[in-house]
């Protein structure tokens, strides 16, 4: 995992990075490669773009040389160098990300961005207390504001907040800041287990219809927003048992056809993934009315009354849809789980949600509430 930290001078970027370091992350700053190159301390790198004249890394020199490297080698050069410096680490936090290009470079590598924010007066107080070598040219709040404004004009740091995945307002205690960081880590360690037809509607028993396309598109937009979540779309038990296309079936019919044994195998797979991934929280998402993947509602019907599967497979698309409607009109929506989710609820603790394709907006609102 890669986490990039963005924020203005003394907002608390390094403090957040140090908290993550305590959690096992390797901490590196975007300015580290600049300092190392300017001081010729490059033994930890597998490659360097160039070796400049050796000099003291003052704030102005760091800004000037950083601008030169980006113009010469690309906006992501400091990210490449920073990651190379800690290339043997599994989890990395990069402090001092300063541009849209650097943010994009982190996100392209599957990383996330935390923006740390604090008011100017408080940031100036922190700067005076830390008494860093690179800050010694700042003698007053006016000096601080001037440099802060120059950095904003150069990097547009304030606007980068809109590109962040998380925002931390760091104007309280260190303990409050630590809790915010821990909450973000918990959020990042979320595993979503979802019925496969919700994301790939072509596996629906009789083929995708408009509401299946609409549901998949809406869910992908949500998961695109929360791109850092881990998502498991498990194998469809109905497809494993009957293939595609297949006629609609009630829960009772699937029980008679031996679905429970197939559902147990899928449940064992899901359980194994959870054991190996060890997520902080698990969200399991099923389909309202599904005989296998219903969470709170399933489909009931006479188990003696179900069509011949092989005959249904031979039907053209539109005819399948018509026959499926005829078959399904005798089914009843009843409270209770589908076969797979009955098994899952007995094995796995988590948040269980049900997508109602006929009341999609409400289902998505509940999903977003639980994700956040």
Domains of the chain by residue range:
2-186, 190-371
- Predicted local distance difference test score (pLDDT) of residue 132: 66
Nearest to 295 by CA among 285, 310, 282: 285
Where is average pLDDT lowest: 151-165, 286-300, 333-347?
A: 151-165
Determine the CATH number of domain 2-186: 3.40.50.300
- Predicted local distance difference test score (pLDDT) of residue 15: 95
Q: For the CA atoms of 185, 188, 190, 192, what is the dihedral angle to 10 degrees? A: 170
Instruction: Compute CA 153 distance to the chain's CA centroid, rounded to the nearest angstrom.
Output: 31
Per-residue pLDDT tens for 152-183? 888 888 889 999 999 999 999 999 999 999 99
Q: Quick one: what percent of the chain has pLDDT higher than 90?
A: 71
- Predicted local distance difference test score (pLDDT) of residue 329: 86
- Predicted local distance difference test score (pLDDT) of residue 133: 63
Query: Can you tell me the mean pLDDT for 83-96?
Result: 95
- Predicted local distance difference test score (pLDDT) of residue 135: 63
Confidence bin at 40 (pLDDT 50/70/90): very high
HEC string of the chain equals CEEEEEECCCCCHHHHHHHHHHCCCEEEECHHHHHHHHHCCCCCCCCCCCCCCCCCCCHHHHHHHHHHHHHHHCCCHHHHHHHHHCCCCCCEEEEEECCHHHHHHHHHCCCEEEEEECCHHHHHHHHHHHCCHHHCCCCCHHHHHHHHHHHHHHHCHHHHHHHCCEEEECCCCHHHHHHHHHHHHHHHCEEEEECHHHCCHHHCCCCCCHHHHHHHHHHHHHHHHCCCCEEEECCCHHHHHHCCCCCCCCHHHHHHCCHHHHHHHHHHHHHHHHHHHCCCEEEEEEECCCCCCCCCEEEECCCCCCCCHHHHHCCCHHHHHHHHHHHHCCCEEEECCCHHHHHHHHHCCCEEEEECHHHHHHHHHHHHHHHC
The count of C-alpha atoms lying within 13 angstroms of the C-alpha of 266, restricted to the half-sphere facing its C-beta, is 27
Tokens 């700042």 belong to: 138
Under 8 Å between Cβ of 115 and 166: yes
**Taken in order 61, 64, 65, 67, is the CA torsion positive or negative?**
positive
Asked if pLDDT for residue 139 goes beyond 80, the answer is no
pTM recorded for the entire structure: 0.81
- Predicted local distance difference test score (pLDDT) of residue 108: 92
The count of C-alpha atoms lying within 13 angstroms of the C-alpha of 245, restricted to the half-sphere facing its C-beta, is 23
- Predicted local distance difference test score (pLDDT) of residue 205: 84
Asked if pLDDT for residue 131 goes beyond 80, the answer is no
Query: Can you tell me the mean pLDDT for 328-354?
Result: 95
Asked if pLDDT for residue 138 goes beyond 80, the answer is no
Q: Quick one: what percent of the chain has pLDDT higher than 70?
A: 97
Asked if pLDDT for residue 326 goes beyond 90, the answer is no
Asked if pLDDT for residue 367 goes beyond 80, the answer is yes
- Predicted local distance difference test score (pLDDT) of residue 94: 97
Per-residue pLDDT tens for 273-285? 999 999 999 999 9
Q: Which two tokens mark 291?
A: 């005989």
Per-residue pLDDT tens for 203-217? 888 877 889 999 999
Per-residue pLDDT tens for 92-127? 999 989 899 999 999 999 999 999 999 999 998 888
- Predicted local distance difference test score (pLDDT) of residue 5: 97
Mean pLDDT of the chain: 92
Asked if pLDDT for residue 134 goes beyond 70, the answer is no
Most distant CA atoms of the chain, gap in Å:
87
- Predicted local distance difference test score (pLDDT) of residue 334: 96
Per-residue pLDDT tens for 71-80? 999 999 999 9
Query: Can you tell me the mean pLDDT for 195-203?
Result: 93
Residue with the larger pLDDT of the pair 200 and 128 = 200
């Amino acid at each position: 995992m890669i986490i990039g930290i963005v924020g203005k001078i003394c907002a608390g970027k390094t403090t957040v990075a140090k908290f993550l370091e305590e959690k096992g992350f390797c901490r590196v700053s975007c300015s580290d490669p600049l300092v190392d190159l300017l001081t010729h301390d490059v033994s930890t790198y597998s490659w360097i773009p160039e070796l400049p004249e050796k000099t003291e890394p003052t704030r102005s020199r760091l800004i000037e040389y950083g601008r030169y490297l980006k113009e010469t080698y690309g906006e992501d050069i400091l990210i490449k160098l920073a990651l190379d410096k800690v290339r043997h680490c599994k989890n990395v936090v990069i402090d001092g990300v300063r541009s849209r290009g650097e943010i994009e470079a982190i996100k392209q590598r599957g990383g996330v961005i935390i923006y740390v924010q604090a008011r100017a007066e408080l940031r100036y107080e922190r700067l005076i207390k830390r008494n860093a070598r690179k800050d010694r040219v700042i003698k007053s709040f006016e000096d601080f504001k001037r440099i802060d404004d120059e950095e904003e004009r150069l990097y547009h740091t304030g606007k980068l907040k809109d590109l962040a995945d998380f925002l931390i307002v760091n104007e309280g205690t260190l303990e409050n800041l630590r809790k915010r960081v821990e909450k973000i880590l918990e959020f990042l360690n979320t595993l979503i287990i979802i019925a496969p037809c919700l994301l790939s509607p072509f596996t629906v028993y009789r083929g995708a219809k408009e509401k299946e396309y609409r549901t998949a598109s809406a869910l992908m937009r949500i998961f695109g927003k929360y791109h850092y979540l881990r998502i498991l779309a498990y194998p469809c038990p109905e497809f494993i048992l009957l293939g595609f296309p297949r006629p609609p079936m009630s829960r009772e019919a699937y029980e008679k056809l031996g679905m429970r044994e197939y559902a147990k195998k899928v449940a064992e797979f899901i359980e194994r993934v959870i054991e190996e991934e060890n997520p902080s929280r698990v969200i399991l998402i099923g389909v309202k009315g599904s005989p296998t993947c219903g969470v709170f509602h399933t489909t009931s019907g006479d188990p003696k009354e179900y069509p011949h599967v092989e005959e249904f497979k031979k039907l053209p698309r539109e005819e399948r849809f018509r026959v499926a409607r005829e078959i399904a009109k005798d089914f009843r929506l009843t409270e209770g789980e589908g076969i797979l989710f009955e098994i899952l609820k007995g094995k796995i603790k988590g948040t269980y949600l049900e997508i109602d394709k006929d009341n999609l907006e409400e289902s998505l609102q509940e999903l977003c509430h639980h994700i956040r």
